[in-house]
């Protein structure tokens, strides 16, 4: 019997049945009224998720494409940026900026930590000639399970000439990020994480300040050219978007966003906090330690230290082959050192119960001393709790 694998990974995440149904619909043409309805609905629902009044640019690409799009649209060769990295996706943003000949000052934080806004403040304050044009950062670093305080960094940039460009690929729609209220200049995300659609779409939302930067940018661009996409969205030209869009994915994404609006962002953020706390307490009940400190531990993915003497890759393999549950290991120097449980997007407490049951069995199978049901009951306590403060 080939079972469907339950993906408890940082993405792609499981797809709701309504999204699958939308993906399986016959294609419609993109230069039609029917498509315009889908597109306009997507705009409205994406604005809700981005917490913005501004337009949302939609690309047929993975999230990395959106990161590249920000670099080539906002900057010119030689422009200096501060790239804050707390893990492998922060590193990637710095690499992209370097690939396009920006001068990159990199602030690397130890993996497992969040960036301290004071460090960023000191660097910006020390840049007396205002050479640093922008701060590039990751909202939620899936490689380490840490969430950065974007609001605090935005306070440093929003009343300055500097831009704040945030990779919110794994977080947007799962962790609060207020594009307009916080004054984040560019927010980038992808379809396949908290937005509950398949991978292949990416999104960008810009502040007015960021749009001004686009006017100064001299890096070459064509496929990613923000202004061309904007003209279509604002109906200044009839061709919207400029190139054939990923129609089926957009139909799937439109359906997923309807589900998100039905639940509401506040309820989703509360559910994510509850899933995270349950995962943290489940891990602790098994005698495992969190990789990051609890207060910076992500609400959509929990990184747990591999217990001493246990082959955590073997544990993952047992969970996958015997229990059809896929969790993730560590990347780069964290390989074999951590276990990462994603609980993002279309994910319920039932999924977490199954996951911890499997983790208990797999850990026991790998030689770790497990009191059967201990983690499951810790998760249940969080399910029962009226107020999360009572169980923290």
Please state, in angstroms and as integers, the Cα–Cα distance from residue 195 to each residue in 97, 188, 198, 237, 253, following that order.
Answer: 26, 12, 9, 29, 7
For the beta carbon of residue 192, count every other beta carbon within 10 angstroms.
26
Interface region with a second copy, contact rule CB under 8 A, candidates 6-14, 114-122, 208-216, 373-381: 6-14
Q: Is 257 in the site for a second copy (CB under 8 A)?
A: no
Handedness of CA 370, 113, 389, 356 (dihedral sign): negative
Q: Please identify which residue in 148, 157, 192, 240 interacts with a second copy, judged by CB under 8 A.
A: 192
Q: Could you say which residues in the range 46-75 bind a second copy, by CB under 8 A?
A: 59-65, 68
Residue 340 has phi, psi (to 5 degrees) of -120, 125
Q: Is 12 in the site for a second copy (CB under 8 A)?
A: yes
What SS3 class is residue 8? coil
Q: Which is nearer to a second copy, 241 or 282 (CB)?
A: 241
String of contacts with a second copy for each residue 324-353, x by CB under 8 A: --x---------------------------
Q: Which is nearer to a second copy, 274 or 316 (CB)?
A: 316
Q: Is residue 105 a contact partner of residue 85, using CB atoms and an 8 Å limit?
A: no
Q: Which is nearer to a second copy, 11 or 117 (CB)?
A: 11
For the beta carbon of residue 343, count every other beta carbon within 10 angstroms.
27
Q: Is 101 in the site for a second copy (CB under 8 A)?
A: yes
Q: Please identify which residue in 222, 308, 384, 389 interacts with a second copy, judged by CB under 8 A.
A: 222
Number of residues that bind a second copy (CB under 8 A): 54
Is residue 54 classed exposed, middle or buried when 0-12, 13-18 and 19+ CB atoms within 10 A define those classes? middle
Please give the structure tokens belonging to residue 78. 């030689």
Please state, in angstroms and as integers, the Cα–Cα distance from residue 184 to each residue in 121, 152, 168, 181, following that order.
Answer: 16, 10, 11, 8
Question: C-beta of 159: minimal distance to a second copy in Å?
Answer: 31
* Residue 295: DSSP 8-state: G
Q: Please identify which residue in 145, 190, 282, 307 interacts with a second copy, judged by CB under 8 A.
A: 190
Q: Which is nearer to a second copy, 286 or 362 (CB)?
A: 362
Interface region with a second copy, contact rule CB under 8 A, candidates 46-54, 99-107, 357-365, 374-382: 99-107
Give the closest residue to 69 by CA, choosing from 226, 249, 213: 226
Instruction: State the pairing for strand pair 140-141/132-138.
Output: unpaired
Question: C-beta of 20: minimal distance to a second copy in Å?
Answer: 5
Q: Is 37 in the site for a second copy (CB under 8 A)?
A: no
Q: Is 215 in the site for a second copy (CB under 8 A)?
A: no
Q: Please identify which residue in 14, 154, 165, 338 interacts with a second copy, judged by CB under 8 A.
A: 14
Question: C-beta of 198: minimal distance to a second copy in Å?
Answer: 4
Q: Could you say which residues in the range 116-175 bind a second copy, by CB under 8 A?
A: none
Q: Is 23 in the site for a second copy (CB under 8 A)?
A: yes
371: part of which helix (H) or strand (E)? none
Q: Is 245 in the site for a second copy (CB under 8 A)?
A: yes
Please give the structure tokens belonging to residue 157. 């940039």
Instruction: State the pairing for strand pair 186-190/201-206.
Output: antiparallel
Interface region with a second copy, contact rule CB under 8 A, candidates 137-145, 172-180, 243-251, 350-358: 243-251
Q: Please identify which residue in 112, 200, 232, 330 interacts with a second copy, judged by CB under 8 A.
A: 200
How many CA atoms lie within 13 Å of 280's alpha carbon, on the beta-carbon side?
Answer: 24
Q: Which residues contact 313 (CB under 8 A, 6 or more apart)?
A: 329, 336
Q: Please identify which residue in 37, 99, 234, 237 interacts with a second copy, judged by CB under 8 A.
A: 99
Which residues are at the interface with a second copy (CB under 8 A)? 4-5, 7, 9, 11-15, 20-21, 23-30, 32, 34, 59-65, 68, 95-96, 99-101, 190, 192, 198-200, 219-223, 242-249, 252, 326
């Amino acid at each position: 019997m080939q079972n469907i694998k339950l993906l408890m990974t940082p993405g792609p995440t499981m797809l709701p049945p309504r999204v699958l149904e939308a993906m399986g619909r016959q294609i419609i043409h993109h230069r039609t009224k029917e498509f315009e309805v889908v597109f306009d609905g997507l705009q409205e629902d994406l604005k809700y998720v981005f917490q913005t009044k501004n337009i949302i640019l939609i690309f047929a690409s993975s999230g990395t494409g959106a990161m590249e799009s920000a670099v080539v649209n906002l900057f010119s060769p030689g422009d200096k940026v501060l790239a804050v990295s707390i893990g492998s996706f922060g590193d990637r943003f710095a690499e992209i900026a370097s690939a396009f000949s920006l001068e990159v000052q990199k602030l690397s934080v130890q993996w497992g930590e969040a960036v301290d806004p004071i460090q960023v403040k000191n660097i910006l304050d020390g840049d007396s000639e205002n050479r640093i044009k922008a701060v590039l950062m990751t909202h939620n670093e899936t490689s380490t399970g840490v969430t950065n305080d974007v609001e605090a960094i935005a306070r440093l940039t929003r009343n300055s000439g500097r831009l704040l460009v945030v990779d919110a690929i794994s977080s947007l729609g799962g962790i609060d990020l207020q594009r307009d209220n916080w004054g984040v200049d560019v927010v980038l995300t992808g379809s396949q994480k908290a937005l509950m659609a398949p991978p292949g779409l990416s999104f960008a939302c810009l502040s007015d300040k960021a749009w001004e930067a686009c006017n100064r940018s001299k890096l070459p661009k064509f496929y990613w050219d923000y202004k061309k996409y904007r003209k279509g969205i604002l109906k200044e030209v009839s061709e919207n978007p400029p190139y054939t869009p990923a129609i089926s994915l957009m139909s799937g994404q439109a359906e997923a966003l309807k589900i998100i609006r039905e639940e509401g962002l506040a309820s989703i953020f509360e559910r994510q906090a509850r899933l995270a706390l349950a995962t943290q307490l489940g891990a602790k009940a098994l005698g495992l330690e969190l990789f990051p400190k609890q207060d910076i531990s992500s609400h959509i993915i929990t990184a747990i230290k591999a217990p001493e003497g246990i082959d955590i890759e073997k544990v993952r393999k047992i969970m996958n082959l015997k229990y059809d549950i896929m969790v993730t290991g560590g990347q780069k120097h964290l390989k074999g050192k951590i276990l990462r449980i994603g609980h993002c997007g279309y994910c319920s407490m039932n999924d977490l119960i199954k996951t911890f049951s499997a983790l208990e069995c797999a850990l026991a199978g790998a030689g770790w001393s497990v009191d059967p049901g201990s983690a499951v009951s810790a998760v249940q306590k969080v399910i029962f709790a009226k107020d999360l403060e009572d169980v923290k």
